[in-house]
């Protein structure tokens, strides 16, 4: 089967491309720039196309002969871009992909949204139908594209499934968890606030399982699914378990959170006009204070989703990879 993966050179996209190739599929990976060790994708046998989902002609070329589209591409919290950029990529780009997929006779379209649309979960764990509260332009535009997908399915009959991954981590990711692992590896971790805030990771292999399951033409059509690991934990517990994974006795020191919140807003306002990446910004502070905890029973029931890699094993594998790559 020929499959198009948009965002195919990023962390999640690359892992999905590898799995699809291993399963014997022909894969086209579309992304706007060379990504994480992109040459490996070519060596594995993927066709890598550098282009954007907002370029209709490029998308049309990529759709030739494709049966399944895995749409992962997105503008993700980029600095120094106007708000309209998120709409253009995350909403207009999704619409272009849908239209060209239908024109090419694609059998199914899987759209990657985000758990972030649920905001700060006040009564955890939440499910797909509750606590909808996107907090930034990335989350808002990812959510805005969901009804675009579902309406397109109603109009054309092309099956669409929506996945909302939680916090993705695992070997191959040099960014998201690296800062946490690096601090833990040093033996000291600054905890702003109580550390009781809930966090729900998803190990990369578990998430890829969900994308593969969603390709079933008879499952999940017209539905959205939260995809996460079996277990959510407090951020303090997460830090301690990373310490055990690294065999490090990490000391956690607590600090008040409100000064950091204020500093984050100030840094963002000062640095953004200067096109400088702020050392701290509100979204990073949110990790310390916004609950992320989800009920994944719908994905289990409808898709047969079953996260096989548990948190401790996932953290161990991730820590080994960071050390092998000399990232911590």
Give the span between the Cα atoms of 233 and 254, in whole angstroms.
18
Mean model confidence pLDDT for the chain: 92
Enclosing H/E stretch for 70: strand 68-71
Q: Are 19 and 77 in contact (CB under 8 A)?
A: no
Task: Kindly state the tokens that stand for 190.
Answer: 């600054």
- Residue 274, classed as helix, strand or coil, is helix
Please state the φ and ψ torsions of residue 287, each to the nearest 5 degrees.
Answer: -55, -30
Please state the φ and ψ torsions of residue 286, each to the nearest 5 degrees.
Answer: -55, -25
Q: Are 126 and 295 in contact (CB under 8 A)?
A: yes
Residue 290 has pLDDT above 70, yes or no: yes
The helices-and-strands tally (H runs, E runs) of the chain is 13, 13
Span of 9-13, 240-244, 286-290 with lowest mean pLDDT? 286-290
pLDDT of amino acid 229: 98
The pLDDT of 165-192, averaged and rounded, is: 92
Residue 78 has pLDDT above 70, yes or no: no
Span of 83-92, 141-150, 205-214 with lowest mean pLDDT? 83-92
The pLDDT of 304-311, averaged and rounded, is: 98
pLDDT grade, residue 174 (50/70/90)? confident
Task: Kindly state the tokens that stand for 220.
Answer: 């999940």
pTM: 0.93
Task: Kindly state the tokens that stand for 326.
Answer: 């000399």
pLDDT of amino acid 281: 63
Q: Are 282 and 268 in contact (CB under 8 A)?
A: yes
pLDDT grade, residue 85 (50/70/90)? confident
Segment 113-135, tens digit of pLDDT: 999 999 999 899 999 998 898 88
- Report the interhelical angle of 204-213 vs 11-22 (nearest 10°): 60
- Report all structural domains of the chain as residue ranges with CATH numbers, in order of start: 2-173+199-231+292-308 (3.40.50.720)
Which residues have C-beta within 8 Å of that of residue 309, sequence separation ≥ 6? 203, 205, 206, 229, 317
Which residues have C-beta within 8 Å of that of residue 55, sequence separation ≥ 6? none
Please state the φ and ψ torsions of residue 214, each to the nearest 5 degrees.
Answer: -70, -15
Which residues have C-beta within 8 Å of that of residue 73, sequence separation ≥ 6? 6, 7, 13, 30, 31, 32, 52, 53, 89, 93
Span of 19-28, 284-293, 318-327 with lowest mean pLDDT? 284-293
Q: In residues, how long is the chain?
A: 328
Residue 80 has pLDDT above 70, yes or no: no
pLDDT of amino acid 271: 73
Give the span between the Cα atoms of 227 and 176, in whole angstroms.
17
Maximum distance among all Cα pairs of the chain, rounded to whole angstroms: 57
Residue 16 has pLDDT above 80, yes or no: yes
The rounded percent of the chain whose pLDDT value lies above 70 is 94
pLDDT of amino acid 312: 98
Residue 276 has pLDDT above 80, yes or no: no
Give the span between the Cα atoms of 87 and 68, in whole angstroms.
24
205, 211, 213, 215 alpha-carbon torsion, rounded to 10° = -150
The pLDDT of 218-222, averaged and rounded, is: 97
pLDDT grade, residue 215 (50/70/90)? very high
């Amino acid at each position: 089967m020929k499959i198009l993966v948009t965002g195919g050179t990023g962390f999640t996209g690359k892992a999905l491309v590898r799995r699809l190739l291993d399963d014997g599929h022909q894969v086209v990976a579309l992304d706007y720039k060379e990504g994480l060790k992109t040459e490996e994708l070519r060596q594995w046998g993927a066709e890598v196309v550098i282009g954007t989902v907002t370029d209709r002609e490029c998308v049309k070329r990529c759709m030739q002969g494709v049966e399944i589209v895995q749409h992962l591409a997105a503008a993700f919290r980029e600095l120094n871009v106007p708000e309209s950029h998120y709409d253009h990529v995350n909403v207009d780009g999704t619409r272009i992909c849908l239209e060209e997929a239908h024109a090419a006779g694609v059998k199914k379209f899987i759209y990657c949204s985000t758990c972030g649309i649920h905001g700060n979960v006040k009564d955890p764990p939440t499910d797909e139908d509750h606590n909808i509260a996107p907090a930034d332009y990335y989350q808002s535009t990812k959510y805005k594209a969901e009804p675009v997908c579902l309406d397109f399915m109603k109009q054309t009959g092309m099956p669409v499934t929506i996945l909302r991954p939680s916090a993705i981590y695992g070997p191959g990711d040099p960014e998201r968890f690296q800062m946490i692992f690096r601090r833990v590896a040093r033996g000291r971790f600054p905890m702003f606030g109580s550390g009781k805030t809930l966090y729900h990771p998803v190990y990369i292999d578990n998430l890829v399982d969900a994308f593969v399951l969603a390709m079933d033409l008879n499952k999940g059509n017209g539905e959205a699914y939260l995809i996460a690991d079996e277990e959510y934990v407090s951020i303090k517990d997460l830090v301690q378990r990373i310490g055990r994974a690294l065999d490090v006795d990490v000391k956690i020191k607590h600090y008040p959170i409100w000064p950091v919140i204020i500093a984050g807003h100030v840094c963002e306002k000062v640095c953004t006009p200067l096109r400088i990446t702020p050392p701290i910004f509100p979204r990073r502070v949110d990790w310390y204070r916004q609950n992320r905890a989800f009920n994944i029973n719908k994905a289990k029931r409808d898709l047969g989703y079953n996260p096989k890699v548990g948190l401790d094993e996932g953290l161990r594998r991730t820590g080994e990879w960071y050390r092998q790559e000399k990232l911590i």
